[in-house]
Amino acid sequence: MVSVLEERNFPVETLRLFASGRSEGNLIPFRGSPVRIERLTPDSFSRDIDLLFLSAGTAISREYAPIAAKLGIFVVDNSSCWRMEEAVPLVVPEVNSDALRLEKKIIANPNCSTIQMVCALYPLHLRARIKRIIVSTYQAVSGAGQKAIVELESQIKDLAEGNPVKPVVFPHQIAHNLIPQIDVFLENGYTKEEMKMVNETRKIMGDDSLMITATCVRVPVYIGHSEVVTVDFSEKISAAEATEILKSAPGISVIDDPDRSLYPLPILAAGRDEVFVGRIRKDLSCENGISFWVVSDNLRKGAALNAVQIGESLLQKKYLSCDGF
């Protein structure tokens, strides 16, 4: 998140960094100078802070976001804590920046797999209203945190050396494997991650009538979530028209040349800001259906970049004051 602020030349007058006592005193570089990490306490915030990015888990967000909001600070929260609260905007700037309000200080950053999907869906939804969405995800281990990355690395090494594998972060071996479970199972047979995609998509796109089913799978990829999305529209739309719409959509890059085996790949999306779409084709099982493939860096557009873009939207709306933005 700090890197994205620097890369996009976000107008930061003073950067303050907060963490737990374990990180207090550590230094993080920002624009050529070290910034010392402060210990987070209920008294950390002051009225001279304009914007707070929170990415420390649900419990921290639940405790500290209201404290900051009461001081008039805009809070962009990266956890799942506030996403489905009715009074809290859930924002993907390319889709619903109009949900931002001066009086709504807490703003939720959506789930990574939801963000990239709605970026591709929304411009098509504007052309021909979507009735049903079927999505299957192939989600990188980095979505489960640094410990998950280390687990994949260590398991690959252990298997190469003939050593037994001991899963800790995931319920099963992730190296050379797929796990059709992300987060816990709910009573309806779906996982929490799958229901996030259902509920968050409806809220972001402002349509509770959308029929959505999701299957979320963890795959042995370090960075970059991939999704196959099949959409049933209210009226006919050709693959060629869908392609042209997506080519002109904000934040979307279309890579779709089957003759040359060109399509989005997670290794190409890693470190990039775009949401990549390819394999755009007519769904043969449905009269008004289109299927496509979506790939994006889950740590950037799926988290840090989208949060910073929300901050940029607040600036553009003049909810935050800054000369020259």
- Residues labelled as active-site residues: 112, 225
Contacts of residue 152, Cβ cutoff 8 Å, sequence gap at least 6: 141, 174, 175, 220, 222
Contacts of residue 170, Cβ cutoff 8 Å, sequence gap at least 6: 141, 144, 148, 151, 179, 218
Look up residue 217 and give its amino acid.
Answer: V
Q: Cβ(282)–Cβ(24) under 8 Å?
A: no
Phi then psi dihedrals of residue 177, to 5 deg: -145, 165
Q: Tell me the residue length of the chain.
A: 325
Instruction: Give CA–CA dist 241/138, Å, rounded.
Output: 26
DSSP letter at 90 equals B
Residue found under tokens 């956890």: 79
Q: Are strands 289-296 and 225-233 parallel, antiparallel or unpaired?
A: antiparallel
What count of other Cβ atoms lies within 10 Å of the Cβ of residue 230?
18
Helix axes 239-247, 112-127, angle to 10 degrees: 120
Instruction: Give CA–CA dist 63/80, Å, rounded.
Output: 13
In the chain, which residue ranges form alpha helices assigned H by DSSP?
Answer: 2-7, 58-70, 93-96, 112-127, 146-160, 192-205, 239-247, 266-269, 305-316
Q: Cβ(325)–Cβ(11) under 8 Å?
A: yes
